[in-house]
Structure formats: structure tokens, C-alpha cells
Amino acid sequence: MEQTTSKYQMLMESLKSQGKLHSLEEIFTPEVTMQINSQMEAVRREYRRKDAESKQEAALVILNA
């Protein structure tokens, strides 16, 4: 386990020295986080809408059976 950890750390240091590794704080600015949250909320609304339609269709099938 220790060997795996040190290999991982060596890889991370190598990527960092090459400028290929960036911290998440640089990527997830407040604006980006708000945009992601907005997109996720839109997906949740769509899911809830489809779920409600599905339940409504199931109820109609049961009533007509």
C-alpha cells in the first residue's frame, strides 16, 4: 500500500511540475459552481416532470383495466 501511495505522490508531483495538474479551487469558481447547480436543478425538474407523467399514465392504465 505504501508503495502505491508513493508512486501516486510521485505521479502527482510530476504532473504538477509539468503544469498539467490544477487545483479544484481554480476550476470551480463561484460562477462555475452556480452554473453547475443551475444545470443540475434543470435536470432534477425534468426528472420530476417525467416521473409525475409516468405515475399519471400508470394510474390511468390501472383505472381502465
Instruction: Tell me whether residue 12 is in a domain.
Output: no
pLDDT in tens, 23-65: 777 888 899 999 999 999 999 999 999 999 999 999 999 998 7
Instruction: Tell me whether residue 3 is in a domain.
Output: no
Burial class of residue 41 in the structure, from the number of CB atoms within 10 Å of its CB (0-12 exposed, 13-18 middle, 19+ buried): exposed
Instruction: Tell me whether residue 2 is in a domain.
Output: no
What pTM does this model have? 0.57
Count of the separate structural domains present in the chain: 1
pLDDT confidence of residue 1:
63
Task: Give the domain range for residue 36.
Answer: 24-65
Q: Minimal CA–CA distance to 36: which of 10, 55, 44, 11?
A: 44
pLDDT confidence of residue 35:
96
Q: Minimal CA–CA distance to 36: which of 53, 48, 24?
A: 24
pLDDT in tens, 2-26: 677 788 889 888 988 898 887 777 8
